[in-house]
Amino acid sequence: MSAILPPATLGMLGGGQLGRFFVLAAHEMGYQVWVLDPDPASPAGAAADRHLKAAFDDYAALDELAHGCAAISTEFENVPADTLDYLAKFVPVRPSADAVAVCQNRVAEKSFLASHGIPHAPFAPINTEADLREVSPTLFPAILKVARFGYDGKGQARVANRDEAIAAFRGFKGEACVLEQMLSLDYEISVVLARDEAGQVKCFPASENSHSRGILDVSIAPARATVCLRDSAQEIAEKIAADLGYVGTLGVEFFISRGELYVNEMAPRPHNSGHFTVDACVTSQYEQQVRALVGLPLGDARAHSVAVMVNLLGDIWFDAAGNCREPDWSRLFAIPNLKLHLYGKRHARPGRKMGHFTVIGTDPVKVLAAATAARSAIG
């Protein structure tokens, strides 16, 4: 297939910040973008050439998107697989419905890892209380996670034993779940890569991620893991992409427990921990998403700088008395090697991802110190 070239129009399912960065990357390359998202205030919709404000299963809107766009991608894993299948009848859709379906359901995801010999935490699928009564006692202590629609630590309960697991399962109203053994984590890393139609892969450097209240807080790239661990993580991520027949940008989260790698989950889209690629790599994860979508050769994924990315949550919009006000951005703009990205969300809420900043440089210790100082300066 020959590449779809500018000024073609591309479609994006989902209007959050990941979609917004896709729009910005596509615009720089000369493409136009239509975004489908029901939220009238969607960050990607605001940046797009056209914002279709409709649900993901609104077939009239899907028809419009399919007829107006030369190719379509997604920025979130919970888009119905039926929607992707339907659009694929008319235009190239990348990643495919099949790949997204694996990543959007924890049972399918962990079964995929198990059947492809990829290291992961021991788990059991849970559909009924009876399943919980039968699981091996060696799984405890464990985490019960709803199979679908969990994110940022939502839809998860830490359970010490079978009784607690049964109580938590009732709390999730009997929704399908996985019960996963709790690993003792040394730290967490992720690998973002892009894979094209021909199976060529470009891997970004692995980043080291820390979370606060279940939400990604800081990413350090490259991760402070041994070269051997980073290489193995990249190899595993490449195997996952190949086994999924994946085309597009893929994020793979890993645990490192007692020095060993375990895959935690996959995101069939750019990943929050890959924001650093915008400011520190030759090609960003969003430009790679565009390139894979339109059939262009992938760009160089090499990092030209070391980077530390800090997420900015809505919490810092609130002062000690609980009043909402805009943080003093001049403090961040004063730092010459800091890149501030705000997503244009109108309403701040605690825990809501409002923006991020990336500090870049050559000395990892200095970059981390500068990012830590910048974060205390802003609240």
Minimum distance from residue 89 beta carbon to ligand ADP (Å): 30
Check if the beta carbon of residue 12 is closer than 8 Å to that of residue 75: yes
Three-state SS at 372: helix
Give the one entry of ligand ADP, Mg ion, none that residue 185 binds, where binding means its C-beta sits below a cut-off of 5 to 8 angstroms depending on kind: ligand ADP
> Which residues contact Mg ion by CB under 5 A?
253
How, if at all, do strands 207-212 and 201-203 pair? unpaired
Which member of 114, 185, 282, 369 binds ligand ADP (CB under 6 A)? Answer: 185
182 binds ligand ADP (CB under 6 A): yes
* Tokens read off for 42: 């969607």
Check if the beta carbon of residue 25 is closer than 8 Å to that of residue 73: no
109 binds ligand ADP (CB under 6 A): no
Distance of alpha carbon 44 from alpha carbon 40, whole angstroms: 10
Minimum distance from residue 255 beta carbon to ligand ADP (Å): 6
Stretch that binds ligand ADP, among 148-156, 241-249, 348-356, 361-369 (CB under 6 A): 148-156
Residue (76 or 204) nearer to ligand ADP, CB: 76
Q: Which 216-275 positions form the footprint of ligand ADP (CB under 6 A)?
A: 253, 264-265
Angle at 155 between CA 150 and CA 159, to 5 degrees: 135
Distance of alpha carbon 77 from alpha carbon 268, whole angstroms: 6
First to last CA, the chain: 50
The single-letter DSSP state of residue 261 is E
Angle at 159 between CA 351 and CA 117, to 5 degrees: 90
Residue type, 364: P
Q: Can you tell me which residue has the tokens 């379509």? A: 72
349 binds ligand ADP (CB under 6 A): no
Instruction: Name which of 118, 125, 117 is nearest 142 in CA terms.
Output: 125
Residue (71 or 146) nearer to ligand ADP, CB: 146
Residue (109 or 253) nearer to Mg ion, CB: 253
Residue (124 or 374) nearer to ligand ADP, CB: 124
Give the one entry of Mg ion, ligand ADP, none that residue 238 binds, where binding means its C-beta sits below a cut-off of 5 to 8 angstroms depending on kind: none
Query: For residue 125, with 0-12 CB atoms within 10 Å meaning exposed, 13-18 middle and 19 or more buried, which class applies?
Result: middle
Minimum distance from residue 265 beta carbon to ligand ADP (Å): 5
Minimum distance from residue 97 beta carbon to ligand ADP (Å): 20
Minimum distance from residue 244 beta carbon to Mg ion (Å): 18
Residue (185 or 282) nearer to ligand ADP, CB: 185
Residue ranges that bind ligand ADP, judged by CB under 6 A:
121, 143, 145, 150-153, 180, 182-183, 185, 188, 211, 214, 253, 264-265
